[in-house]
Amino acid sequence: MRMLKLTIGQVVIRGELLEMPTADALYAAAPFEARASTWGEEVYFTTPVSLAREADAKAVVEPGEPAFWPDGDAIAIGFGRTPISRGDECRLAGPCNIWGRAKDDVKALKVVRSGAAIKVERSAQRKPTTMSGEACDRRQFNRLSAWLGLALAAGSSLGAARPAAGADLKEGYAPGDGIRLYYVRAGEGPLIVFLHGFPDDWSLYEPYLIEFGRDHLAVAPNLRGVHPSAQPEADEAYAMPRVLGDLHGLLDYLGRRRCTLMANDWGAYVAWVFASAYPDRVERLVIMNGGHPALLLRDFRTSRAQIAASQYERHAAAGPGTHAAYLRADPIKVPASIEAGADLPAPDLALAFFDGVARPPASTSLVIEVPTLVIWGMQDPSQLPGLLEGLDAYVPNLTLVRIKDAGHYPMRTHAAQVTQAIRRFLRQ
């Protein structure tokens, strides 16, 4: 019987493997290490394996069904509700390949925080052995002593998203708009800032920090609300003016007037607004699968397909967590249907995005004047290709790269192609 042993922080989960291609690939790849990310009551982490979706892939799983998420090359273990769950179901970010059965209680993962170290290794089922009472007591004592030593050594860093050991990366904190932002950096030179979305953190861009750190100062912050950046409680703390202030604070702290801004998902949503309002602070803009606010608003009124693809946001907004707070603070709401969207009042985006900003915007038009590269995975199930239609009206200096077989994370699945496109764009 094949098994994988997943050591996630201080929690050990053993998975009995099924007979299927995904299980075969994961078993062959072990051992490997990663860092944990959390999304509601789910722990997930990237793997060195890249696989297609299997025929019986599913998004709603039973707690204890270890899954592989093909869109992110990640193992996901749900133990309860996620931000997109409906009722008490355990709903993962998308259809996943179920590769095994957990032999341990996955609810123990509740104590895991983002950034916890993970080791995946092969594990053989051991036959029970008979021991004398004295030997048994000695073994238990030795195990307990070792566990306590490990826990005390790791206690100060539990939950902090940390660069992998040996990586040429440095950590720091910068003052944002009344809060403290955690960031990871590499290299020296012209500044490139990478912005993540949800359910990600800075580590989404770890390979790109190393790559572009060869000739740039490459910096990836955790957005406010994503540990160990500050986590304000009020929804209003996640409104666009506050996040724009965080970016100003980061640039000021780094002593830079301008940067190249690269972003995905919600980070892209922020980047569109920042680049349009403050072209003096953005030299170039790179967007990877993140809709322009004006086109999202348009499609939330006119596109049945995009409305259906974005229903997860409606469910997520009703739940707990940072992503929910961002959604509730945002003026653009996903309607239940195209008919319901017709009855929604048009939000004043200029007021919502810039009311109370510390630095007055140069423009509130949402038109991007700086050179912009958009890399779009055409198989993205949540950000549909229709969001590219009409984009040139808002981005007159646009370079568009479509990747036919990529999804929401082209930087993960097509790293070489994405890196080449960005390098070529930076040389123009």
Distance CA 408, CA 194 (A): 16
Asked if 198 and 95 sit in the same domain, the reply is no
Q: Identify whether 260 is part of a domain.
A: yes
Asked if 202 and 282 sit in the same domain, the reply is yes
- Are the C-beta atoms of residues 37 and 373 closer than 8 Å to each other? no
Q: Identify whether 162 is part of a domain.
A: no
Asked if 210 and 279 sit in the same domain, the reply is yes
Q: Which of 122, 155, 178 is the last residue of a domain?
A: 122
**pLDDT tens by residue, 2-58:** 999 999 988 999 999 999 999 999 999 999 988 888 888 899 998 988 888 999 999
CA 131 to chain CA mean position, Å: 47
Q: Identify whether 155 is part of a domain.
A: no
Cis previous bond, 228, omega within 30: yes
Asked if 179 and 85 sit in the same domain, the reply is no
Asked if 336 and 189 sit in the same domain, the reply is yes
Asked if 356 and 228 sit in the same domain, the reply is yes
Asked if 246 and 372 sit in the same domain, the reply is yes
Q: Identify whether 393 is part of a domain.
A: yes
Q: Residue 339: which residues within 8 A CB-CB, separation 6 or more?
A: none
Structural domain total, the chain: 2
Asked if 180 and 236 sit in the same domain, the reply is yes
Q: Identify whether 317 is part of a domain.
A: yes
Q: Identify whether 399 is part of a domain.
A: yes
Q: What does the pLDDT read at residue 163?
A: 65
Distance CA 308, CA 302 (A): 11
Q: What residue numbers bound the domain in which 359 lies?
A: 170-427
Q: Which of 92, 122, 152 is the last residue of a domain?
A: 122
**pLDDT tens by residue, 270-305:** 999 999 999 999 999 999 999 999 999 999 999 999
Give pTM, 2 decimals.
0.69
CATH code for the domain of 384: 3.40.50.1820
Q: Which helix (H) or strand (E) holds 419?
A: helix 415-427
- Are the C-beta atoms of residues 263 and 289 closer than 8 Å to each other? no
Asked if 357 and 420 sit in the same domain, the reply is yes
Q: Identify whether 355 is part of a domain.
A: yes
CA 91 to chain CA mean position, Å: 17
Q: How confident is the model at residue 147 (pLDDT cuts 50, 70, 90)?
A: very low
**pLDDT tens by residue, 70-112:** 888 889 999 998 878 888 899 998 899 999 999 999 999 988 8
Q: Which of 66, 91, 122 is the last residue of a domain?
A: 122
Measured torsion, CA atoms of residues 320, 325, 328, 332, in degrees rounded to the nearest 10: -130
Task: Please provide the size of the chain in residues.
Answer: 428
Say whether pLDDT at 142 is over 90. no
To the nearest 10 degrees (0 to 180), the angle between helices 266-277 and 240-254 is 70
CATH code for the domain of 79: 2.40.100.20
**pLDDT tens by residue, 182-217:** 999 999 999 999 999 998 999 999 999 999 999 999
Asked if 30 and 110 sit in the same domain, the reply is yes
- Judged by DSSP in three states, 159 sits in coil
Asked if 111 and 195 sit in the same domain, the reply is no
**What tokens appear for 156 in the block?**
């100060």
Asked if 318 and 406 sit in the same domain, the reply is yes
Distance CA 126, CA 287 (A): 50
